[in-house]
Chain A
Amino acid sequence: MSAESSSAPENNALSELLDLSMPANSEAIATVVDTISETLTHLEVPEQKRFEVALAVQEALANAVVHGCGNDPSKQVRCRLKSDPHGRIVIIVTDPGPGFSPDLLADPKQRENLYADHGRGVYLIRQLMDEVHFEHSGNEIRMWKY
Chain B
Amino acid sequence: MGPAVDGLRQTMEEALGSGDTRIVLNLAEVSMIDSSGIGLLVRFLASTKQRGGNIKLVQPNKFAVQTLRLVGVLNLFEIFDDDDVAVESFA
Chain A contact residue count (CB 8 A cutoff) = 24
B13-21, B37-45, B82-90: which one contacts chain A? B37-45
Chain B CB within 8 A of A146 CB:
no
List residues of chain A with CB within 8 A of the CB of B63.
51, 55
Q: Is the CB of A120 within 8 A of B32?
A: no
Contacts of A128 in B (CB 8 A): 70
B46–chain A nearest beta-carbon distance, Å: 5
A114 within 8 Å of B (CB atoms):
yes
Q: Does chain B have a CB within 8 A of A124?
A: yes
CB distance from A108 to the nearest CB of B (A): 6
**What is the distance, in angstroms, from A60's C-beta to the closest C-beta of chain B?**
11
Does the CB pair B38–A29 fall under 8 Å? no
Number of A-B contacts (CB under 8 A): 62
Q: Is A58 an interface residue when CB atoms closer than 8 A count as contact?
A: yes
Within 8 A of B (CB), among A89-141: 108-109, 114-121, 123-124, 127-128
Cα–Cα, bound, A140→B16 (Å): 39
Q: Interface SS of chain B: helix, strand, loop or mixed?
A: helix
Residue total for B at the interface (Cβ-Cβ under 8 A): 21
Please tell me which one of the listed residues B39, B42, B46, B71 contacts residue A123 in the complex, with CB atoms under 8 A apart.
B71
Beyond contacts A29-B2, A58-B1: 8 other A-B pairs, Cβ-Cβ < 8 A, are A55-B63, A108-B72, A114-B72, A115-B45, A116-B42, A117-B39, A124-B35, A128-B70
